[in-house]
Amino acid sequence: MSALLEKPLPSKPWQPKPKNLIPEILGALFTALSTFLIVGFSPLKGTLGFTVVLIIMAVLTASVVSGLRRDRKAAWNSTTTVLVYVAAAFVVVPLISLLYEIIRKGVGGFSLGIFTKDMSLSASDSPLSEGGLLHAVVGTVYLVLLASLFSTPIGILAALYIVEVKGKFAGLVRFFVQAMSGIPSIVAGLFIYAIWMINLGNSYNAVAGAMALAILMIPTVARTSEEVLKLIPTDLREAGLALGATQWRTVAMIVIPAARSGLVTAIILGIARIAGETAPLLLTIGGADALNLNPFSGNNSALPYYVWKNYGLGNELSIQRAWLGVFVLMIVVFIFFSLARYFGATKDRKGK
Amino acid sequence: MSITQTPKPRVITSEPRFSDKVFRAVVTAGGLSSLFILALIAFFLVYNGFEVFRDEGLKFLTGFDWIDALPDEGLPASYGLGAMLYGTLVIGLLAVIFGVPVAVGTALFLSYYAPEWLKKPMVLIIDVMAAIPSVVFGLWGYFILMPHAEYWAKLIHKYLGFIPIFDMPANAFSRSPFIAGLVLAIMIIPIVTSISREVFAQTPLDRIQAAYALGATKWAMIKAVVFPYGSGGVIGGAMLGLGRALGETVAVYTVLNLVYDIRIEVLLSAGGSVASMIVNKFGEADAVELQALMAAGFVLFLVTLFVNFIANIIINRTARKG
């Protein structure tokens, strides 16, 4: 009896046993050691030499080890495995370098004072304690708000047209919205310059910049909203229609409230997409060193513009200012990025 | 008085109510406005650049010169986009050559190689990369990447200099198409990776398991199952990346030296980019040159729209098959 009651231990025969890991650990050790030796005793030097030797040695070791243990196919498999890992590492390296440099170069000039002053009374090569980027922050806030105001209705209506109304041109609209997301930002800027300044005779202001940004934001909002609306179960719509509601009431009272957090995510993703756009602003907002609280008239500034301008001025202190601008800009982008992920995550949890 | 009045028969109709008619009209107008905006962009760029198209004709696409008119010396203006178009194509192709293998490798890593705990952070890294503004890439590329990339370029020239494209007529390694291609490669990696990953995820599981059951190694499985299914999507993703690279402005402007000449040496500090040229010339442009810039913008618009169209057609077809 007792033999019957004995529970068999769960066994996972597919998982590698510690014994199987020995060749791999030995291989890794060999790779590291040989790399150090080769870099130490040959003319190859520096990070580049080290990286190249490491990759070659890793590929060699992996393929030789599995080639000896099994066959040529296994050797080739190991080679490609190492290469795939190398590719993934290549993606991580630039991002880490980028974030590290932004923090290292940007954090130095960072103080709360920069949010209270603009550059109207400071020269570009004055120390960083003088002046600030209040005008740029205000400009970016205006641009983001106005661009959202312009693009949200169009983006969400386009999504509703594709998903809810399913009109004659739904496929066409979908296709063109996809293609629209590939419009170069400079073309959006040129277009607004052409229509708003040349043909309608207005001058630089924040509204023009916001219109250019809205063109870039519409596809993001439309495509994300479309995905979100598609996730709303058809049962909800049918329930609404079965109760005698018109399509308008069904969409307004059932579908949109159900998709609300997703639609918010769509807008925030769109904002994250445009908050750092520079090229269209160079052609539309004119740039300013002083705070301009009126988005409807007069030159304005923006964070990316501030970075661009100070980079272009080219003296040591203005380049420090540019990095400071990058630092603040990245904080803004990351706030929207995190918000989008937060809302996106809550939507997923509800779905489950 | 027993009048039995039969009530009027209710009219049963599929005619939508008035509110629905309004609703559908508004939504349709909103949906079609994206088409309208695209048409407006094309129209206003052509309208404002019309005179340049008329005066230059086909020379606008093939000519190399970008010269303002000098009325004092009686020299007419001459605007040719040839060199810039060629340069744009070169840096776009370089970006694809550098970026796509890494992106496809990363997509494979995320789909088939990465341990569970690594997947989420890795996807986060790709998403963060996609959110970084191009001006930031430009500054990083100029101040951080360029010193390294110049050194790499010197090595390539030293050991592979006998190949014409790596030849150097002058000792100027900075701000070359090679470096612009590297920066663009990093910028297009997120989109190519995410498209490839989407396509790889649609590979039928039974085929994958069948390959494994027949004793295939992981790579043999990928070669036999994943690539045949996903190749269209990967090509589409690469083209989408190419479209982005062709239209990139600010990042390219900081790391590329614009020269109105066609040179095959990619390591030399001389390249071209239509988008950067527009920003470069915009500040000091007079009315005539502005028209030429509008025309250039229209050409860029057409090229990127075309690349995007093809890419989306390929991707949609692959996605539907899955």
pLDDT in tens, A245-291: 899 999 999 999 999 988 999 999 999 889 989 999 999 998 888 88
In a domain, B237, yes or no: yes
Cβ atoms of residues A208 and A196 within 8 Å: yes
Amino acid B2: pLDDT? 62
| A contacts of B224 (beta carbons < 8 Å) | none
Q: Is B273 on the interface with A (CB under 8 A)?
A: no
Residue B156 and residue B52 share a domain:
no
In a domain, B12, yes or no: no
In a domain, A123, yes or no: no
| A contacts of B45 (beta carbons < 8 Å) | 187, 190-191, 194
Q: Which residues lie across from B271 on neighbouring strands? A: B258
**A85, B113: Cβ pair inside 8 Å?**
yes
Name which of A96-110, B39-53, B167-181, B307-321 the model is least confident about: B307-321
What is the rounded distance in angstroms from the CA atom of residue B171 to the CA atom of residue B158?
Answer: 12
Residue A301 and residue A189 share a domain:
yes
Phi, psi for residue A195 in degrees, rounded to 5: -80, -40
Q: Is A191 on the interface with B (CB under 8 A)?
A: yes
Share of chain B above pLDDT 70, in %: 97
Mean pLDDT in residue range A173-192: 91
Q: Is A342 on the interface with B (CB under 8 A)?
A: no
ipTM: 0.88
In a domain, B3, yes or no: no
What is the rounded distance in angstroms from the CA atom of residue A129 to the CA atom of residue B318?
Answer: 56
| A contacts of B300 (beta carbons < 8 Å) | 184, 186-187
What is the rounded distance in angstroms from the CA atom of residue B206 to the CA atom of residue A236?
Answer: 34
What is the rounded distance in angstroms from the CA atom of residue B230 to the CA atom of residue B319?
Answer: 9
Q: Which residues lie across from A300 on neighbouring strands? A: A286
Q: Which residues are within 8 A (CB) of B163 and not within 5 positions of it... i.e. 6 or more apart?
A: none
Phi, psi for residue A270 in degrees, rounded to 5: -60, -40
Residue B69 and residue B110 share a domain:
no
Residue B97 and residue B66 share a domain:
no
Residue A73 and residue A209 share a domain:
no
Side-chain-facing half-sphere of A51: CA atoms under 13 Å? 10
Amino acid B322: pLDDT? 44
Domain with A34, as residue range(s), is 19-106
Question: In this predicted model, what pLDDT tens digit does every residue of B170-228 receive, in sequence order?
Answer: 788 888 999 999 999 999 999 999 999 989 988 999 999 999 999 899 999 999 999 99
Residue type, A38: I
Nearest of A323, A44, A113, A143 to residue B143 by alpha carbon: A323
Residue B253 is part of a domain; what is its CATH number?
A: 1.10.3720.10
Residue B24 and residue B112 share a domain:
no
Q: Is B27 on the interface with A (CB under 8 A)?
A: yes
> How many Cβ atoms are within 10 Å of B286's Cβ, its own excluded?
10
Kind and range of the H or E element at B103?
helix B82-108
Cβ atoms of residues B217 and B126 within 8 Å: no
In a domain, B14, yes or no: no
Amino acid A349: pLDDT? 46
**What are the angstrom distances between the C-alpha of B202 and each of A42, A178, B226, B227, B288?**
47, 20, 9, 11, 52
Q: Is A8 on the interface with B (CB under 8 A)?
A: no
Residue B109 and residue B172 share a domain:
yes
Q: How far is B69 from chain A (nearest CA, A)?
A: 21
Nearest of A156, A79, A322 to residue B138 by alpha carbon: A322
Residue type, B213: A
Residue A100 and residue A140 share a domain:
no
Residue A268 and residue A198 share a domain:
yes
Q: Is A32 on the interface with B (CB under 8 A)?
A: no
Residue B91 and residue B50 share a domain:
no
Query: For residue B146, what are its two tokens?
Result: 């360029």
Share of chain A above pLDDT 70, in %: 96
Share of chain B above pLDDT 90, in %: 54
Domain boundary residue, one of A106, A123, A156: A106
Q: Which residues lie across from B67 on neighbouring strands? A: B78
- Cβ-nearest to A98 among B24, B105, B132: B132
Amino acid B319: pLDDT? 65
In a domain, B255, yes or no: yes
Residue A319 and residue A245 share a domain:
yes
Tell which wins on pLDDT, A265 or B68.
A265
- Cβ-nearest to B136 among A76, A276, A282: A276
What is the rounded distance in angstroms from the CA atom of residue A268 to the CA atom of residue A216?
Answer: 13
Q: How far is A116 from chain B (nearest CA, A)?
A: 24
Disruptive mutation site among A73, A176, A333 for chain B (greatest number of B CBs within 10 Å):
A176
Disruptive mutation site among A55, A98, A169 for chain B (greatest number of B CBs within 10 Å):
A98
Mean of the per-residue pLDDT values for chain B?
89
* Parallel/antiparallel/unpaired status of strands B66-67 and B78-79: antiparallel
Using only C-alpha atoms, chain B has a radius of gyration, in whole angstroms, of 27
Residue B312 and residue B208 share a domain:
yes
Q: Could you tell me the pLDDT band of residue A19, with boundaries at 50, 70 and 90?
A: confident
Domain boundary residue, one of A53, A88, A106: A106
Q: Is A285 on the interface with B (CB under 8 A)?
A: no
Q: Is B246 on the interface with A (CB under 8 A)?
A: yes
Residues 185-224, chain B: which have Cβ within 8 Å of A? 186, 189, 193, 217-220, 222
Residue A143 and residue A253 share a domain:
yes
**A81, B219: Cβ pair inside 8 Å?**
yes
Mean pLDDT in residue range A307-327: 90
Phi, psi for residue A300 in degrees, rounded to 5: -130, 170
Residue A242 and residue A194 share a domain:
yes
In a domain, A194, yes or no: yes
In a domain, B172, yes or no: yes
Cα dihedral A290→A294→A295→A301 (10° resolution) = 10
Residue A197 and residue A263 share a domain:
yes
Q: Which residue has the tokens 């954090």?
A: A107
**What are the angstrom distances between the C-alpha of A11 and each of A16, A20, B58?**
11, 16, 73
Residue A290 is part of a domain; what is its CATH number?
A: 1.10.3720.10
- Let me know if B128 is exposed, middle or buried by CB neighbors in 10 A (0-12, 13-18, 19+): middle
Residue B187 and residue B86 share a domain:
yes
Domain boundary residue, one of B73, B106, B141: B73
Residue B137 has pLDDT above 90, yes or no: yes
- Cβ-nearest to B34 among A165, A173, A308: A173
Domain boundary residue, one of B39, B54, B73: B73
Q: Is B43 on the interface with A (CB under 8 A)?
A: no
How many residues are there in chain B? Answer: 322
Residue B258 DSSP one-character state: B
Residues 102-121, chain B: which have Cβ within 8 Å of A? 102-106, 108-110, 113-114
Q: Which residues lie across from B74 on neighbouring strands? A: none
Number of independent structural domains in chain B: 2
In a domain, A14, yes or no: no
CB pairs under 8 A between A and B: 272
Number of independent structural domains in chain A: 2
Domain with B23, as residue range(s), is 19-73
Cβ atoms of residues A313 and A124 within 8 Å: yes
In a domain, A121, yes or no: no
What is the rounded distance in angstroms from the CA atom of residue A217 to the CA atom of residue A151?
Answer: 6
| B contacts of A77 (beta carbons < 8 Å) | 217-220
Residue A222 has pLDDT above 60, yes or no: yes
How many residues are there in chain A? Answer: 352
Question: What residue spans of chain A are helical by DSSP H?
Answer: 2-5, 18-41, 46-69, 72-106, 134-160, 170-180, 185-192, 206-231, 234-242, 247-250, 256-258, 260-274, 279-284, 303-313, 316-351
Residue B316 and residue B246 share a domain:
yes
Q: How far is A184 from chain B (nearest CA, A)?
A: 4
In a domain, B297, yes or no: yes
| B contacts of A251 (beta carbons < 8 Å) | 23
Amino acid A352: pLDDT? 36
- Cβ-nearest to B106 among A91, A170, A218: A91
In a domain, A85, yes or no: yes
Mean pLDDT in residue range B21-44: 92
Domain boundary residue, one of B73, B101, B118: B73
**A178, B312: Cβ pair inside 8 Å?**
yes
> How many Cβ atoms are within 10 Å of B81's Cβ, its own excluded?
26
C-alpha torsion sign, points B109, B115, B119, B121: negative
Residue B40 and residue B156 share a domain:
no
With CA atoms as reference, the chain A residue closest to B253 would be A279
Residue B258 and residue B213 share a domain:
yes
Mean pLDDT in residue range A302-318: 90
Residue A140 and residue A38 share a domain:
no
Residue A259 DSSP one-character state: T
Q: Is A322 on the interface with B (CB under 8 A)?
A: yes
Amino acid A165: pLDDT? 87
Nearest of A108, A304, A316 to residue A216 by alpha carbon: A304
**A186, B108: Cβ pair inside 8 Å?**
no
Q: Is B306 on the interface with A (CB under 8 A)?
A: no
Residues 157-186, chain B: which have Cβ within 8 Å of A? 186
Residue A155 and residue A99 share a domain:
no
**A176, B35: Cβ pair inside 8 Å?**
yes
Question: In this predicted model, what pLDDT tens digit does every residue of A117-165 receive, in sequence order?
Answer: 888 777 777 777 777 889 999 999 999 999 999 999 999 999 999 999 8
What is the rounded distance in angstroms from the CA atom of residue B236 to the CA atom of residue B307?
Answer: 9
Residue A273 and residue A204 share a domain:
yes
Q: Which residue has the tokens 């390694």?
A: B173
**B109, A84: Cβ pair inside 8 Å?**
yes
Cβ atoms of residues B92 and B246 within 8 Å: yes
| A contacts of B307 (beta carbons < 8 Å) | 182
In a domain, B55, yes or no: yes
Residue B69 and residue B91 share a domain:
no
Residue A324 and residue A266 share a domain:
yes
DSSP three-state, residue A286: strand
**B105, A83: Cβ pair inside 8 Å?**
yes
